[in-house]
Amino acid sequence: MAKARAMPRDLHPGPVADRVAALNARYRHHSATAVLEHSLKDVDLGRVALVSSFGAESVVLLHLVSVIAPETPVLFVDTRMLFQETLDYQRQLAESLPLCDIRTIRANPKKLDFEDPDNTLHQFNTDSCCNLRKVEPLERALAGFDGWITGRKRFQNSERGTLDFFENEGDFRIKVNPLAHWGREDLEEYIVNNRLPRHPLVAKGYPSIGCAPCTSPVKPGEDPRAGRWRGQDKTECGIHFIDGKAVRLPKENAA
């Protein structure tokens, strides 16, 4: 089995942009499993964590990592506003999958009490709420890593339609999207063939699941992420980075 290896940053052979280009060229025609397996031990990538929401499709990537490299750190951001079904599902998968290092990440309690004492920030500033409860805690948790694995896929919405296996994140870290080319049928087949448990909200019309106040069911024919921040000019939680700072990119640049 492949095992994630810690690589000193000064041993990396070039700038992040060059390494991302080399990785995409190297693995362009590989399968998701091969991309995940090889990238976890590739010197161009370094030390990597899996970031998982334990949402609608998360079990596929969690299972793949548990088979290929169970020692890979798994970061789960508990925003304190998740559906109870998500918290229950997270515990279920943590107990059933052979993953060795699952870490629950939360916002600083003092900062949370100061900036959102009554839990209403999401009602008038969703970007600030996401930044406080998700972006900042995740950036803190990722500080010791050279890259991180995401479950993003091209089919999820039009803005992810050109997603590559590897992305340059602010010229200091790499994102890995091993399932970028998978479609709904691939996910379904993998879940069925491996007899994996499903998030209970999927059957209720939630193909993409975030925080409870900002997630609604999706109608037939809509993008899978149409229920996220419905009615707002917002499509992502804000986990994008420029010059080492966590910021939300403009909609036209979001990936």
Question: Which residues are designated catalytic?
Answer: 237
Find out whether 42 and 165 touch, Cβ atoms under 8 Å: no
CA 226 from chain centre, in angstroms, equals: 17
Using DSSP's 3-state secondary structure scheme, residue 50 falls into strand
Using DSSP's 3-state secondary structure scheme, residue 149 falls into strand
Find out whether 7 and 146 touch, Cβ atoms under 8 Å: yes
Helices then strands, each counted (H, E), the chain: 9, 8
User: What are the Cα distances from residue 219, in Å, to 199, 200, 208?
Assistant: 18, 17, 12
Please give the Cα distance from 237 to 128 (Å, whole number): 10
Find out whether 63 and 118 touch, Cβ atoms under 8 Å: no
Find out whether 132 and 140 touch, Cβ atoms under 8 Å: no
Find out whether 166 and 141 touch, Cβ atoms under 8 Å: no
Can you read off the two tokens belonging to residue 135? 């972006």
DSSP state of 10: G
Positions of E strands within the chain: 48-51, 74-77, 102-105, 147-149, 166-169, 173-176, 240-242, 245-247
